[in-house]
Structure 1
Amino acid sequence: MGSIARPASESFDVMIIGAGLSGINSAYRIQTELPDYSYTVLESRDAIGGTWDLFRYPGIRSDSDLHTFGFPWRPWSEHKAIAAGEAIRNYIRESAEEFGIDKKIRFGNKMVSADWSTEEQNWNMLVDSNGEEKVFKARFVIFSTGYYDYNEPLKTTIPGIENFEGTRIHPQFWPEDLDYTDKKIVIVGSGATAVTLLPVLAQTAKHVTMLQRSPTYILSRPSVDPVGTFIRKVLPSWLASRIVRYKFLVLPFLFFKFCSAYPEAARRLIHKSVKAELPPTMSIDPDFNPRYNPWEQRLCVCPDGDFYQALRSGNADVVTDTIARVTATGIETQGGKVIDADIIITATGLKMQLAGGASISLNGTPLSLPSTFAWNSTMLSGIPNAAIIIGYTNASWTLGADAAAKLLIRLLKYMRKNDFSSAMPSVGDEGMQKQSLMNLNSTYVEKAKGDLPSAGDRSPWLPRSNYFVDYWGAAHGDLTGGMEFTSADAVGKKIN
């Protein structure tokens, strides 16, 4: 494949791909700290919000608190810390509008391919712009496209699913006109999506069953933080927001560390909490006793215990078993259960994908993302002037996204100060040992291991640690280790 030869329509210092949380945050950091840089945001869809605009299944909400999931530069002001999808969608849109970022977004523009030209010290990007091919140039590109495929869910084998004569749905593509009133529903899966769906569907459905191969940890948390509410009453809003944010930064971090250091104690603590929430007819075993330790997979959250309220209401239950086959009218399990269903919801996970599926090349030679190592979990070895924004799996995604954005700002300022036109991470001959970039053993992460870049076993290639360490590194850490810079003079180019 040769380099893109079409003339570019426009050139930018920075191009951001994706207008979700990460993209809007990156845009804010660029325009605030590098106001003389030209930038634009390409968004393949027709709205701001990314995941929060795409997903419209009933009850969609955050499973992280919005005080840390929201932007640090525009504090979340609602009382509900666990917020519904519509509120999050509005928050992202209003944030972009307040700071003029929405004026920089080009909707209906999907990046098809990106080719780095060493001669030009530029990215040449082929874009499907509302059905028309366009080519843009950019000196630096930030892929804020999330970590999964918007167009295709994770494929899973469900024996006999083709036999089912009722309605089959994947939450990623929820039909707006679906009426599930008085229907018998089976949700296949046990992750955050299933835990979110069950209590909402159970309000009007005849019966809802969550059918899981193995249990997950499901923690109740108040949707409104009483301590935060008190703080807001007695302190000025600017100070109250800061204190509440630090509270939500510190306490979950300490709980995660507790779970990691004392897994058996954490398991007992969670079991005690769950047992108090379950109806008398249900026990911890087998439905709420995961095989793994807390935080080896992401913990699920149910605001105000709505999941357990649905179980206590009597028209929702949990079955832990494997599917023997799907029939015309329901599901038969290996354990001999027959579960009737009018609707089957396959909440079986997301198909992971980076860079929005665009093909990336270097001087016309295709690059393989899975063969790369992630430099500070932000840039990839052998790829100049490009970042892939990856957040946390054990904390709010936005925290990691913002740490990455602040690191990139420092890097761009360093390049400008030293008259460098490009920066490319390079592993060299260090005999790097691979580690998972995402520190979870969830099914969708395990299945994607061969499709993702790797972390390494030493700095600056280590996976994300925690927000406090990563934020310090973004603000003060070494920018030169594992990085090769190209002087602008050497190629006759200059980064402004």
Structure 2
Amino acid sequence: MTEHVDVLIVGAGLSGIGAACRLQERLPGKTYAVLEARDTIGGTWDLFRYPGIRSDSDMFTLGYPFRPWQDPKAIADGPSILSYIRSTAEAFGVTAHIRFGHRVVRAAWSSADARWTVSTAHGATFTCRFLYLCSGYYSYDSGHVVDFPGQAEFAGEVVHPQHWPDSLDYAGKRVVVIGSGATAVTLVPALASRASHVTMLQRSPSYIVARPGRDALADRIRALLPENLAHRVVRGKNVVMGTLFFQLMRRLPGRTSLALRKRVAAQLPASIPVDPHFVPSYDPWDQRLCLVPDADLFRALRSGEADIVTDRIARFTSSGISLESGRTLAADLIVTATGLRLVAFGGIALTVDGRAIEPGEQRTYKGTMFGGVPNLAWCVGYTNSSWTLRADLASQYVCRLLAYLDRHGFAFCVPDPASASGAGRPRPIVDLQSGYIKRAASGLPKQGGRRPWMMRQNYLLDLADMRFSRVDDGVLRFGH
């Protein structure tokens, strides 16, 4: 039996739950369902369970604008965020609309019927007027796995953070964490509290910024104002400050990189020099900055419970890792924080009137839709600030678009791919130089150099564009 709804949302994580809440709020008459491949709500925040997992964005902007974050910690741990997502789904009645265990594998658009037919891995079929993909761009199946020379010889255990075993006991063990990104800098202090020693082994360093886990100004604002108003004020403050800092770093990379290194130097013990361990070869925001709440990484380094090594791996040995410098690192447990694997559209095979849609050939419209693909949106967030800031704008825009179709009696809308030819040379949709993004760039949609084919990393500009600009902008085509 085929189930039909007005809107089909794919993914019950942070984005999908937010999209469902917005749909109910703005278009209460619409029928919808949420298809979730796994058996629970939470997406990334349920999948990743390694020690110390936390956000690297403040929760006043990573949280939903329509549901104030109440926890005192601005930089929250993974379980707290997961609880927030699940309680939001329950409070807004979204849970009843979720179909668990429904991994979408195919979606076919028919112009004759003006609808999508969506198929799941276990044979269920859904049809919908509008398809909204809220599954992000991380592969849930596996992270980026590196086949290190000699890995089979290692007598200990090798673990990737994306598949952290619940039963893993690292107490009293010598641990080497391979990596220098957000996952590595989170794991090191979390493991150091129980391991005998933790070494962070990096090929090249990242920019690291320490900030308090609690926002003192936000605490004062929340003490003075009603909850909803305080949430809006703090959220606005953090958006403006984040935008200013990002623009400053991009416009003055030399000065800001020096300032970041000086701040790190003040936190380090005398035994750990800034150079080479904290001097990246790139400018700030060529890759994401790593956030360290309450300077926990530096506390672990100062205590001697952890250290950092900048070198290249020659091979694994039975007792640890041999480095190209000739040094060896003894280990009982090796954690390969080697990055994520990206996939477009959740790996769903899309067709439009029988024509296969190749993700890497698509040009994004407003960072949400795609030229020549009707009634479909893809929810992706910012890379330079909280994911939810852009994800929520995208969901509000989808609601505006659906309301416009209803008012004018249209059955579908589609960005005109011909107009994309004037948007300039195609560029990656994720404008960072991180290794995991470069590896996947050819298979991800592209953006142009001008609106509306450009995906800007600026919430304030996108706010005006997504919420207040004309829907019928001359690029969208509409049909009955």
- Name the TM tier (shorter chain): over 0.9
1:365 maps to which of 329, 341, 355: 355
Q: Structure 1 length normalisation: TM-score?
A: 0.94
Separation of aligned partners in 2, 1:144 and 1:179: 35
**Alpha-carbon shift at residue 154 of structure 1 (Å):** 1.4
1:121 maps to which of 79, 89, 114: 114
Secondary structure (helix, strand or coil) at the match of 2:418 reads coil
Separation of aligned partners in 2, 1:260 and 1:454: 22
Alignment-mate amino acid for residue 228 of structure 1: A
**Alpha-carbon shift at residue 364 of structure 1 (Å):** 2.6
Contact kept in structure 1, 2:114 and 2:129, CA below 8 Å: yes
1:54 maps to which of 47, 51, 67: 47
Alignment-mate amino acid for residue 415 of structure 2: P
Separation of aligned partners in 2, 1:229 and 1:378: 35
Equivalent position of 1:4 in the other structure? none
Equivalent position of 1:260 in the other structure? 250
Contact kept in structure 2, 1:460 and 1:482, CA below 8 Å: no
Secondary structure (helix, strand or coil) at the match of 2:234 reads helix
Residue correspondence of structure 1 range 446-461 to structure 2 within 5 A: 446-461=438-453
Alignment-mate amino acid for residue 399 of structure 2: I
Contact kept in structure 1, 2:413 and 2:479, CA below 8 Å: no
1:441 aligns with 2:436: no
Equivalent position of 2:262 in the other structure? 272
Residue correspondence of structure 1 range 158-237 to structure 2 within 5 A: 158-237=148-227
Separation of aligned partners in 2, 1:290 and 1:480: 45
Q: Deviations over 1:375-434 (max 9, x none)?
A: 000011221111111100000000010111111111111111221111112221625411
Equivalent position of 1:156 in the other structure? 146
Equivalent position of 1:493 in the other structure? none
Equivalent position of 2:455 in the other structure? 463
Sort the Cα spacing of 1:453 and 1:482 in 2 relative to 1 into closer, same or farther, 3 A.
Answer: farther
Sort the Cα spacing of 1:377 and 1:416 in 2 relative to 1 into closer, same or farther, 3 A.
Answer: same
Q: CA RMSD in A?
A: 1.3
**Alpha-carbon shift at residue 363 of structure 1 (Å):** 2.1
**Alpha-carbon shift at residue 370 of structure 1 (Å):** 0.6
Range that drifts further, 80-89 or 312-321: 312-321
**Alpha-carbon shift at residue 317 of structure 1 (Å):** 0.8
Secondary structure (helix, strand or coil) at the match of 1:277 reads coil
Q: Structure 2 length normalisation: TM-score?
A: 0.97
1:378 aligns with 2:368: yes
2:411 maps to which of 413, 416, 421: 421
Alignment-mate amino acid for residue 32 of structure 1: E
Separation of aligned partners in 2, 1:483 and 1:92: 35
Q: Deviations over 1:113-167 (max 9, x none)?
A: 1011111111001113xxx411110010100001110002113342222221210
Equivalent position of 2:337 in the other structure? 347
Structure 2 stretches of 5 or more lacking a match? none
Secondary structure (helix, strand or coil) at the match of 2:276 reads coil
1:398 maps to which of 381, 384, 388: 388
Alignment-mate amino acid for residue 184 of structure 1: R
Alignment-mate amino acid for residue 42 of structure 1: L
**Alpha-carbon shift at residue 479 of structure 1 (Å):** 2.5
Alignment-mate amino acid for residue 467 of structure 1: Y
Separation of aligned partners in 2, 1:240 and 1:139: 38
Separation of aligned partners in 1, 2:50 and 2:78: 9
The runs of 4+ residues in structure 1 deviating greater than 4 Å are none
Identity of aligned residues (%): 45
**Alpha-carbon shift at residue 484 of structure 1 (Å):** 4.3
1:312 aligns with 2:263: no
Separation of aligned partners in 2, 1:267 and 1:428: 41
Structure 1 stretches of 5 or more lacking a match? 1-7, 489-496
